[in-house]
Structure 1
Amino acid sequence: MNTRPAVRPALSPTAHRALWVLQILLGLFIAIGSGVPKLYGDPFAIAIFDGIGVGQWLRYVVGVLEIAGGIGLLTRRFSGPAAAGLVLLMIGAALTQAFVLHGGLLVLTPVVLGVLFAVVAVGRRDTLRTFTGG
């Protein structure tokens, strides 16, 4: 019986480059385009979190998580864990949009972002093993 662990084939150079392009675009978007405005008090962000009804502290927490996740996507070591964390954050955002804010089509934004983050998490699953001990 073969007791050697199965080895996942490495990404092709083209797939590796495409994944880095996706990580860079998503990292910049989520950190600068979404996280920073939450921290500096963008009126739209304030209104969204007022609508949620739990207080503005959550806006700061989400902003920090988005910035940290965006920075993580830009690093080799933390790209997988950052993407996985952002998937969880987008699940929370989609559920909040759907059931608390009754956002209709606005729920598509976190769903699409969540899928893209999941692509990165799967593509960088080797970096997840560092954190899960696998």
Structure 2
Amino acid sequence: MTILSVILQCLLIFAFSFSGASKIAGASMQVQVFNHLKIPQWFRIVTGFVQLAGVVGLVAGFWDTGMLSLAALWIACTMLGAVLFHMRAGDSFKQFGAPLLLTLLSLTLALLHI
């Protein structure tokens, strides 16, 4: 495993641990984002668990690179969905730039291990 891979892996674990947990906990920012995107609140909770499942896969990826690739692709698909929902809502690039960046970082991590 390269140092770039470990850095990306740790960054994604950190980002999605907080993102997933805040969605499940119902942080006001997350509730507002899902309202803005016209996505039901139950889907916010599902998304939080999907993200935390990705985190579990990323952590397991320290020992199993196949799991790491799958988890990174899992996260990338989740974030691609976020980008598409923001685009559907007519948001500017500034509003979906972070999800797009996380999509690209996740894809990069997956490609490093395929």
Query: Do both proteins adopt the same fold according to a TM-score greater than 0.5, normalized to the shorter chain?
Result: yes
Q: 1:108 to 1:54 in 2, by over 3 A?
A: closer
Corresponding position of 1:46: 31
Residue 121 (structure 1) aligned to one of 71, 90, 110: 110
Q: In proportion to residue count, which structure has more helix?
A: 2
Q: SS of the residue aligned with 2:39?
A: coil
Match of 2:91 in 1: 103
The CA RMSD measured in Å over matched residues stands at 1.3
Alpha-carbon separation, structure 2, partners of 1:111 and 1:87: 9
TM-score (norm 1): 0.75
Higher relative contact order (CA 8 A, sep 6+): 2
Question: Which residues of structure 1 form unaligned runs of 5+?
Answer: 1-12, 126-134
Query: Which stretches of structure 1, 4 residues or longer, exceed 4 Å deviation after superposition?
Result: none
> What residue is the counterpart of 2:77 in the other structure?
88
Aligned counterpart in structure 1 of residue 51 of structure 2, from 66, 73, 77? 66
Amino-acid identity (%): 26
Instruction: List gaps (5 residues or longer) in structure 2.
Output: none
Aligned partners of 2:38, 2:8: CA distance in 1, in Å? 33
Please identify the structure whose Cα radius of gyration is greater.
1
The answer to whether the 8 Å contact 1:31/1:71 transfers is no
